[in-house]
Amino acid sequence: MLIPSRCIFFHETTCSPPNLTPQQACAVESSARNNRNLNVFLLFFATEQFSEKSKKYIKILETYDNIYIRRIRLSTYIIDTPIEDWFWTNIRRLWENKDWLHKDFHDYVRMLTVWKFGGVSLNLNSVVLTSLDKLTTFTGVQNNRDMSVGVFGVDTSTNFGRNFVDACMEIIKSTNANSYLRYNITRVITEAVWKLCYQRNDKECRQFTIYSPEKFYPSFPDSREVHTNKTRAKEMLKIEKNAMTIHLLNNYNRSIEAWLSNVMAFKMAAEQNCPKIYYLMQNVILLRVSRTLTTRNSTVLFSHSTRIGQLSTLDVMAQRIFKGHSDNYNGITIDSVDEACDNKIFTQRLKDSLEQWIKDKRRTIWFRVHIPHTEWVPILTGHGFIFHHSKEEYVMLYRWLPTNEECNVPKYAHTYLGVGAFVFNKNTCEILVIKEKYAPTKASWKLPGGYVEPGEDIETSAKREVLEETGIQTDFKCLISFRHGHDYSFGCSDIYMIAYLTPQNFEIDKCKREISECKWMKLGDFMQHPEVHANNKTLAAKTIDFLQHQMGIVANYGVHPISKKQICVYSVQNTDTGNTSVE
């Protein structure tokens, strides 16, 4: 969803068909991970299908719910914008015949996007390190020599932001085919600021911020040099502590080896901020590593015979083992999103990992396989893994490794929990009853209620169900009783709690989608009614007993001393509801 000035934009105008490199995919993923409350748009100005190499990166990026990838036709994109006529008059002929123009026109397209929608425009050769939520109308310069602009953004919800981006578009319109190339985005922004802040003396110019290179382009003077010095990389990351992005210079952005190995600081930032793309690329590199390992000097050769460094055999094996997350029971959980790889790599990596885990005497190995990686499932089952449970977005498989002891992995949640609400008006001695529209048998009068949602307290569930089904607001007092049965839905057991609640209002507003009838009924009538089945009458009898002795199961909320998670302890005590006579 596109919300004005609440977006981050990336543009690719230079390639057809649209192609996405791993470094570019990292820029997009790092933006989405560090800005969950912002939408991230990747715009390709090409209408062909994505290249095959790009599709695996696209697939990973689409696992983020705040990433949107679009292919755009420029001739349509400029309609009803200030530069529409200018484009057709000055640029269209060159655009069709000169591929180099696409690259030079890139920044103008970026400015056009923020004119349309507002937001932040970033380069695709970056890694985003933190939230960009607080940025308004700004620019970030790449170096202190020519003050060239690399990053910029506009908050079009403010008067100054709108005036600023309108001024930029007017300056672009003033260029022609001859002067076009001399007006890069740095010059456009500079002239717009001059026009607003110096010629017009706009008092709102204080809203415009110019960030020094350290904010978006931290680097050493010799950062173009290839080096793998970890000490220098860590020093650079210290410089980046207050930075919002780090950029890898375009010299290397087409080279996987340079991206992951040659610029160590960029690699370290990528591993932390775009882990899904990073681990995929680690697997691609490993696939290209020659099987020939010279034991004597432990030299790793790439399949194209390019020597990229000295790695021990142990280092290579470690890269071929799934990392996962260890648990308190000497097990490991691997998430397919965190360590994505294709089937060929996965099969060999799984074999190597199992061999290592058995040597390490690991116990339970868990694989959480998300929908984009379902090809893993038959490979896992072929290696002894079995299903444990599934949810809407993943399936969980496991394998018990010890051969000298019985598997003690607990079965997945095998019991449903529901709650029925005994809503009692003691002034009239009536209870709230319903008839369900889609009952499994002939509809009968029953208590409102339903299943407890994941992460929901019983008290909250009882009040929610009553409100949803009848429109009655209630106060939870205590639990009265519960029933326990087996072989219910999907073969699971079932626990149904009965809660005692008092009404805050009395006017019924039933749920027309689920409830056919709803009314207040005398408790005595409920006990004798032919359309109330025996189990509900038994539960009502227990409630009558409760109203007489007033001993209920009361909820006591607290925090677990070890896990620090909220818990609720239920205990029997006097509920002090007051004496009630039951008719």
300-342 pLDDT tens trace: 333 333 333 333 333 443 357 898 999 888 999 999 888 888 7
Lowest mean pLDDT among 42-51, 194-203, 238-247: 238-247
In 452-533, which ranges are continuous DSSP H helix?
458-470, 523-528
CA dihedral 220→221→223→229, nearest 10 degrees, is: -60
pLDDT digits (tens, 9 = 90+) for 520-555: 999 989 999 999 988 888 888 888 888 888 888 888
Task: Give yes or no for residue 95 having a pLDDT over 60.
Answer: no
- CB-based contact 172:166 (threshold 8 Å): no
**Would you place residue 154 in the very low, low, confident or very high pLDDT band (cuts 50, 70, 90)?**
very high
Alpha carbon distance 303, 108 (integer Å): 41
Mean pLDDT of 412-416: 85
What is the reported pLDDT for 548? 84
Could you give the CA distance from residue 217 to residue 228 in angstroms, rounded to a whole number?
A: 19
pLDDT tens column, 219-264: 544 444 433 444 444 554 554 557 888 876 544 344 444 444 335 6
Across 58-72, 253-267, 373-387, 541-555, least confident range: 253-267
pLDDT band at 371 (very low <50, low <70, confident <90, very high): confident
Q: What domains lie within the chain, and their CATH numbers?
A: 7-247 (3.90.550), 320-400 (3.40.630.30), 415-574 (3.90.79.10)
Whole-Å CA distances, 555 to 450, 459, 478: 19, 8, 7
- Residue 116's pLDDT is what? 92
Question: Position of tokens 């010279």?
Answer: 294
Mean pLDDT of 195-203: 74
Q: Is the pLDDT of residue 394 over 50?
A: yes
**Average pLDDT in the chain:** 79
368 burial via Cβ count (<10 Å: 0-12, 13-18, 19+): buried
485/249: higher pLDDT: 485
Say how far apart CA 214 and CA 239 lie, in whole Å: 8
Which pair of structure tokens corresponds to residue 426? 């003691």
pLDDT confidence of 518, banded at 50, 70, 90?
A: very high
**Looking at residues 446-475, what average pLDDT do you find?**
91
Q: How much is the pLDDT for 229?
A: 45
Report the pLDDT averaged over residues 482-496: 86
Question: Angle, to 10 degrees, between the axis of helix 264-273 and the axis of helix 22-34?
Answer: 50
pTM over 0.75: no
**pLDDT, greater one: 58 or 4:** 58
Which two structure tokens, joined as six digits, stand for 69?
């990838």
With a cut of 90, say whether residue 193 has pLDDT above it. Answer: no
ω into 503 cis (within 30 of 0): no
120 strand-pairing partners:
8, 153
pLDDT in the model for residue 307: 35
- pLDDT at 280 (0 to 100): 76
